[in-house]
Amino acid sequence: MPSLNGCHSGRRLFGPHPAGRTQRTLLPFLLLLLLCATSHAAGQTESVHVVLYAEDGSVLNETTVTYQWIEANLPIHGDGITHYYHQGPVFEGDKWDQNETTNFKDKGAVKGTNVRDLCDLVGGASPGDDVMIHAVDGYHVEFNYANVYSPPQRQGPIVLCWYDGETGYPPDYFAGLRLVFFSDDNVFGNWDMHECLPLKSQHFFGDLKPSTGGLSVRWVDEIKIYAGGYTGEQGGPAKSMPTQTPESSQVPGFETMSATIGLLSVASILRHRQRQMRRRR
């Protein structure tokens, strides 16, 4: 007579098989492992690589500095109390929202260092040059010389922030190192962007709605100065230069890919062990 649950005589009638129990026990651990690997692949940065490229793509000068060195040696912007804001897209009414009425994005009570001062560590930029702010996940934005070195008052200095008054320094400052515009009224709005930045440096949500939130790059790992201007693709992962440094040649997401392959291998081993246990029964 068939046994309960379709099992043959002599097999366990109630409860899960040991292999199934093992899989359920390991599943949360594997998911946590994948989450940690993903966070490591694209997460907080504690140093920035600054590099000056010649027009032919060769490296003229470069350096890497930690936020601790930056704080101790360069002028500080912000007091850790005053909050600064960017603006997200406006979906009703005037998309530029000239009076700055809605969808403010709080970037925190931050402190940081003027990008201009960081550029000067490798010789600085000159008129006609572009400055790229690059993140570990490949996202990047570019600004011309004037917006970095002589910004309008309503734009304010472009600041690389390494401290937040509520969370402290990286890695506790989750978004750091982060780019924030220190506008004169503490809000860098969409109309400020319209009035201060050339079209090539403006950010649009869905290519339609202006949004300065997209200029507040988090997890910054590199500042690149391009003599004569940057001519690569905008927004997405930057095209490789002829000469790369160890800091800039890492492929974003490599750790995640490796972890995923490892998890698939573990899952395959578990399935193999489960089949072996079934054969023994």
Q: What is the CATH number of domain 43-238?
A: 3.90.420
The structural domains of the chain, with segments of one domain joined by +, span 43-238, 251-281
Q: What percent of the chain has pLDDT over 90?
A: 64
Per-residue pLDDT averaged across 242-268, rounded?
Answer: 41
Q: pLDDT tens for residues 148-159?
A: 999 999 999 999
Is the pLDDT at 203 greater than 80? The verdict is yes
Is the pLDDT at 61 greater than 60? The verdict is yes
User: Can you tell me the distance from the alpha carbon of 149 to that of 130, in angstroms, rounded to the nearest whole number?
Assistant: 11
Q: pLDDT tens for residues 65-81?
A: 999 999 999 999 999 99
Residue 182, Cβ density class (10 Å: 0-12 exposed, 13-18 middle, ≥19 buried): buried
Q: pLDDT tens for residues 105-119?
A: 999 999 999 999 999
Q: At what angle do helices 254-280 and 18-41 cross, to 10 degrees?
A: 180
Whether the Cβ atoms of residue 112 and residue 71 lie closer than 8 Å to each other: no
Is the pLDDT at 60 greater than 50? The verdict is yes
Q: pLDDT tens for residues 256-276?
A: 444 444 455 545 555 656 666
pLDDT for residue 252? 38
Q: Record the pTM.
A: 0.71
Average pLDDT over all residues of the chain:
80
pLDDT for residue 233? 77
Across the chain, how many H-helices and E-strands are there? 6, 13
pLDDT for residue 279? 59
Q: pLDDT tens for residues 219-234?
A: 999 999 999 999 887 7
